[in-house]
Amino acid sequence: MSTVSSLATSAHSRAASASSRSTVHTADGVALEVRIHGPRRARLTVVLSHGHCGRSESWTAVRSALLKRYPDARIVCYDHRGHGRSALADRRTYTLAQLADDLHAVLEAVAPTGPVILVGHSMGGMSVLTYVSRHPHEIGSRITGIGLIATAASSLTEDGLGRFLRHPLISLFRAAVHHAPGRMHHAKLLAGRAFAPIVHRARRGDHTFGPRLLTLANAMHNQTPIVTMAAFLEAFTTYDRTDALATLSAIPTLILCGSTDSITPPTHSIAMAAAVDYSDLVLVEGAGHSVIMEQPGRVADALTRLLTRAHDTHRNTGRYLPVAV
């Protein structure tokens, strides 16, 4: 059973809308950092799950824009185990199945009742699909909408930069991290400093760098421990949650991807949309894998549409409503 501790409500705690922080303890004792935004008594909760080597702050712009468009929603963001302000864990628990269990712990702690919409970016989307696969009975009752952003249901090693997951160097990298984590982490810190100018220039709109270089630069220039980073790479090679897609036909589902995403190319989103009846497929022109930070307004617009569809569907006794054209 998960528990909530260290709740720190903001100075606006008496207002209708508030922000707070919580610590959710998972079944195996890992402390997860959770942030809650919006009305305390909201009728709808939206949970935003970040990607590999990311943190809850990656949703900041989307979250702010979404609350302006849909002020009645409560938005929950959290850091995955081994990421951000959440605690480190046994490397053997860095799996997508465990992330799905962690998501369940977060829901039990901060949103035990009422309708919930799950939204995941990249690895966060994979954890959402894994959750759906493990809790199909909640779809259409507790879970009233799903958002899958820059992610995939399977075949990560068959397209885009994911093909490099099966390269022998990746196996050597994981082995080196396992046997000498301290040295490898130090090397990552040095590489992060070297790549910092590239990352900063790209964030300011400089598009002169190729996608492979940007992917490597972003992988090195973050605060995620290298053990966490390496352990999840293995999980990606065998990931397959196509079994969850048919279940999503029962509820409003958004599938969104940047047109230039080189990590989870649009082919993944198109394939998922084909398997989910009446899904809302959105391709953001010119955006890459970090679409939630590159085009937060477009993402918030699509999520607002998802929230509206989910609300209307739930209000109309669960009858599914197609996308309005």
Residue with tokens 């909530």: 4
Residue with tokens 């093909």: 163
Nearest of 16, 22, 63 to residue 41 by alpha carbon: 16
Instruction: Kindly give the residue spans of alpha helices, DSSP state H, lying in the chain.
Output: 60-69, 96-110, 123-134, 168-179, 181-203, 211-220, 226-238, 266-275, 291-294, 296-315
Nearest of 176, 168, 297, 166 to residue 234 by alpha carbon: 166
- Bridge pairing between strands 143-149 and 73-78: unpaired
Nearest of 135, 154, 113 to residue 247 by alpha carbon: 135
Tell me the pLDDT of the chain (325 aa) as tens digits: 444 443 333 333 333 457 899 999 999 999 999 999 999 889 899 999 999 989 999 999 999 999 999 998 999 999 999 999 999 999 999 999 999 999 999 999 999 999 999 999 999 999 999 999 999 999 999 999 999 999 999 999 888 767 766 766 666 665 666 655 666 565 555 455 555 565 556 555 556 666 555 655 555 556 788 788 888 888 999 999 999 999 999 999 999 999 988 889 999 999 999 999 999 999 999 888 889 988 999 999 999 999 999 988 866 645 444 443 3
Q: Which domains does the chain have, with CATH numbers?
A: 3-154+239-315 (3.40.50.1820), 162-236 (no CATH)
CA separation for the pair 1, 3 (Å, rounded): 7
Residue with tokens 């992917």: 215
Backbone angles phi, psi at 34, to 5 degrees: -125, 135
Give me the torsion for CA of 152, 154, 159, 161, rounded to 10°: 70
Q: How much is the pLDDT for 173?
A: 61
Enumerate the β-bridge partners of residue 170: none
Q: How much is the pLDDT for 163?
A: 72
- Do 272 and 156 meet the contact criterion of CB atoms below 8 Å apart? no
